């Protein structure tokens, strides 16, 4: 009996005329996620089937595919010949050992000598005879044995549905630059936008040696987590040390974060234009901290002239964000206790509702252009 993984896909079928394009990107993304693992993926009547893999790789394959956006659910099952004995042995192998069950059969091969209800009844009867701990309940079963009799003389037999990432295939909705800190929020923001099909690049600002190498490693680890959903990821890293020192030296300290945010946005826009990103994405959430007021966002937004700034978490509570962070497996990394550059030279009383004319007056004390050029010259790029 050959183990197979059955892949059902999500929203792609909605895409009318573009369907072929969406499916090509989707198939390529699945192939990328299984790179290095022997397998074959074949398209079969509205689903995909992974076959010809080593028995020991099945869990790895499920884990990887469950993170590919566009995959709605997976089942691990068996492919056998359309023969009642073979189908029965497969059914027995995928069956739970206790509880109430039913058998559901779908018969694409209308020439098969038994009708769907007859197949279900015979297989169900044999399972009952072989295991006294099972009983049939067609209304409220604990599990369902599914049998798919296909037109090519084979049958698929499976039990569980594993819920996956859903969403749209990454790469079908343009490209965006995520401002990735080491916190909880920005990885979640990136995950949400990637889920809608946008390919994400990441930009991280550090302030080494004020921030340490563990803080950098944390961001790399978060980028690697995002990479699994994003089919690979580019992480750009820029130092804002000099910018922070100059703000600290020359400006009213209460404006540190407000001014730094404007530098970050300008650097992000410059990098986005260079790399072909069409928007900037941040993990800001309205009112979460002092700098995330509408006045703060107005101040940082106003330096970006050529592209939208997406803030997918704007209307989320912190506990909703934490829940998402956990479900994408980022939370344990995000809560490692290393300082972000935003906490360097942090004033006791930051300006909460900055007036744009005051911000401009503080910024006028700096050589903005030179600071931007110097910071941009520190750019490092890594791929994960
Ligand atoms: P996060 O949990 O994402 O760190 P936060 O609640 O700590 O967010 P802030 O520190 O105010 O909030 O940052 C708001 C957003 O600004 C972040 O979500 C991120 O998109 C961006 N940002 C902050 N610090 C950095 C950084 N060092 N590098 C890149 N982007 C950053
Ligand atoms: Mg942060």
Q: Confidence band (pLDDT; 50, 70, 90) for 363?
A: very high
The confidence score (pLDDT) of residue 347 equals 78
Q: Which tens digit of pLDDT belongs to each residue from 243-294?
A: 999 999 999 999 999 999 999 999 999 999 999 999 999 999 998 776 789 9
Strand segments, DSSP code E, in 1-98 are: 2-9, 40-44, 47-51, 71-81
pLDDT for 295 beyond 70: yes
**Ligand with smallest separation from the Cα of 187:** 1
325's enclosing H/E stretch is helix 318-327
Residue 383: pLDDT band with limits 50, 70, 90: very high
Residue from 176, 178, 183, 239 to probe ligand 1 pocket by mutation (most atoms less than 8 Å from CB): 183
Quick one: which of 98, 104, 141 has its CA closest to 121?
A: 104
Q: Render pLDDT for 211-251 as a digit per residue (tens, 0 to 9).
A: 888 999 999 999 999 999 999 999 999 999 999 999 999 99
Encode pLDDT of 163-196 as tens digits: 999 999 999 999 999 999 999 999 999 999 999 9
**Averaged pLDDT score across all residues of the chain:** 94
Predicted TM-score of the model (pTM): 0.92
- What is the position in ligand 1's atom list of the atom closest to the CA of 206? 27
DSSP E strands in 280-364: the ranges are: 280-281, 309-310
The residue whose CA has the least distance to atom 12 of ligand 1 is: 284
Which of 180, 186, 268, 280 for mutating ligand 1's site (highest number of atoms within 8 Å of CB)? 186
H/E stretch holding 121 reads: helix 116-130
- Ligand 1 contact via 289 beta carbon (within 6 Å): yes
Query: Separation of 185 CA from ligand 1 center, angstroms?
Result: 7
Hey, which bits of 62-142 come out as E strands?
A: 71-81, 99-107, 134-136
Q: pLDDT of 298-332, one tens digit each?
A: 999 999 999 999 999 999 999 999 999 999 999 99
Query: Which residues make up each annotated binding site for ATP?
Result: 179-180, 204-205, 261, 283, 292
């Amino acid at each position: 009996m050959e183990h197979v993984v059955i892949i059902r896909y999500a929203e792609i079928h909605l895409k009318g005329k573009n369907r072929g394009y969406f499916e090509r990107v989707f198939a390529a993304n699945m192939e990328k996620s299984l790179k290095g693992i022997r397998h074959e993926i074949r398209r079969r009547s509205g689903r995909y089937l992974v076959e010809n893999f080593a028995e020991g790789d099945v869990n790895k394959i499920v884990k990887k595919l469950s993170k590919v956006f566009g995959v709605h659910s997976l089942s691990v099952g068996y492919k056998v010949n359309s023969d009642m004995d073979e189908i029965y042995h497969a059914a027995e192998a995928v069956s739970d050992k206790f509880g109430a069950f039913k058998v559901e059969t779908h018969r694409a091969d209308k020439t098969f000598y038994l009708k769907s209800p007859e197949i279900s009844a015979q297989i169900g009867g044999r399972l009952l005879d072989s295991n006294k701990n099972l009983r049939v309940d067609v209304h409220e079963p604990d599990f369902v044995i599914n049998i798919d009799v296909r037109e090519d003389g084979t049958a698929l037999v499976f039990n569980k549905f594993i819920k996956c990432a859903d969403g749209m295939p990454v790469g079908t909705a343009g490209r965006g630059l995520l401002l990735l800190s080491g916190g909880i929020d920005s990885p979640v923001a990136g995950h949400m936008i990637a889920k809608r099909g946008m390919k994400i690049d990441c930009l991280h600002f550090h302030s080494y040696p004020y921030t340490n190498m563990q803080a950098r490693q944390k961001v790399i680890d978060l980028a690697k987590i995002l990479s699994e959903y994003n089919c690979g990821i580019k992480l750009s890293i820029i130092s804002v040390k000099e910018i922070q020192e100059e703000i600290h030296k020359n400006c009213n300290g209460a404006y540190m974060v407000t001014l730094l945010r404007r530098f970050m946005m300008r650097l992000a826009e410059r990098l986005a234009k260079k790399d072909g990103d069409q928007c900037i994405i941040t993990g800001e959430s309205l009112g979460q901290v002092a700098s995330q007021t509408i006045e703060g966002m107005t101040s940082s937004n106003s330096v970006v002239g050529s592209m939208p700034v997406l803030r997918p978490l704007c209307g989320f509570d912190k506990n909703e964000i934490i829940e998402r962070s956990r479900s994408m497996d980022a939370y344990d990394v995000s809560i490692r206790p290393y300082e972000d550059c935003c906490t360097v030279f942090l004033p006791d009383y930051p300006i909460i509702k900055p007036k744009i004319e005051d911000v401009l007056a503080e910024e006028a004390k700096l050589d903005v252009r030179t600071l931007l050029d110097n910071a941009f010259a520190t750019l490092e790029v890594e791929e994960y």
